[in-house]
A and B are shown apart, each in its own frame.
Chain A
Amino acid sequence: EAQVTQNPRYLITVTGKKLTVTCSQNMNHEYMSWYRQDPGLGLRQIYYSMNVEVTDKGDVPEGYKVSRKEKRNFPLILESPSPNQTSLYFCASSLRGESPLHFGNGTRLTVT
């Protein structure tokens, strides 16, 4: 089944403790991206990747890192999480940059 898989679904952590949210797609998509969703603010792009080893900042990249060493994986790294990063995070992939996005199920992160 074609899908985007994010893990974990829920994560509660403390300020400053490094964490990684994994994202994997099995559709051989070139484009992958991360979003955070907050009430009243919609979906905001954090980082995107047009292909392996190519990543670019979205609208809200501060406090996040990404890497694209393999086509199928695009992990999101929070090296020192803070409470303002508490949010619902979505990973998504598409065939190329101007194509429909396939979203993962989301990761609800709480930073205390």
Chain B
Amino acid sequence: GENVEQHPSTLSVQEGDSAVIKCTYSDSASNYFPWYKQELGKRPQLIIDIRSNVGEKKDQRIAVTLNKTAKHFSLHITETQPEDSAVYFCAASIGAGGTSYGKLTFGQGTILTVHP
């Protein structure tokens, strides 16, 4: 089955710095890669996603890159702010061509702390 590895498990940065979180996946049938942010005591919420036919996607200070050949994708947050502090999860979803279409596997999460 699919295996998603996420690194680092914790990340501490100063306000205004950039933060990068990396994920690798194992199943070549995965074709949808969302990122979720979970603030303390709250539900996860989507912040950005990318599909396998796209190499990069940006939304203001957040960007995601995907390398299908190497099976890895990364989240980039620029100009970090204290409100970016949260747990971030990557995920990989098996596409319609796979035997487990719809199965979603999450990474273990990264605790991001942005110091003022």
Residues of A within 8 A of B (CB): 31, 33, 35, 40-45, 48, 50, 56, 58-59, 90, 97-101, 103-106
Contact A103:B43 (CB < 8 A) given known A42-B109, A97-B102, A98-B51: yes
> Number of contacts between A and B (CB, 8 Å)?
62
1/0 per residue, CB under 8 A from A, across B17-35: the answer is: 0000000000000011010
CA distance A105 to B44 in the complex (A): 9
Q: Are B101 and A100 in contact (CB under 8 A)?
A: no
Q: Are B46 and A100 in contact (CB under 8 A)?
A: yes
Q: Are B1 and A59 in contact (CB under 8 A)?
A: yes
A94 → chain B, closest Cβ, in Å? Answer: 9
CA distance A40 to B108 in the complex (A): 6
CA distance A31 to B93 in the complex (A): 13
Q: Are B95 and A98 in contact (CB under 8 A)?
A: yes
Q: Are A42 and B107 in contact (CB under 8 A)?
A: yes
Q: Are B46 and A98 in contact (CB under 8 A)?
A: no
Q: Are A43 and B102 in contact (CB under 8 A)?
A: no
In the complex, what residues of B have CB within 8 A of residue A98's CB?
Answer: 31-32, 51, 93, 95-96, 102
B73 at the interface (CB under 8 A from A): no
In the complex, what residues of B have CB within 8 A of residue A50's CB?
Answer: 101-102
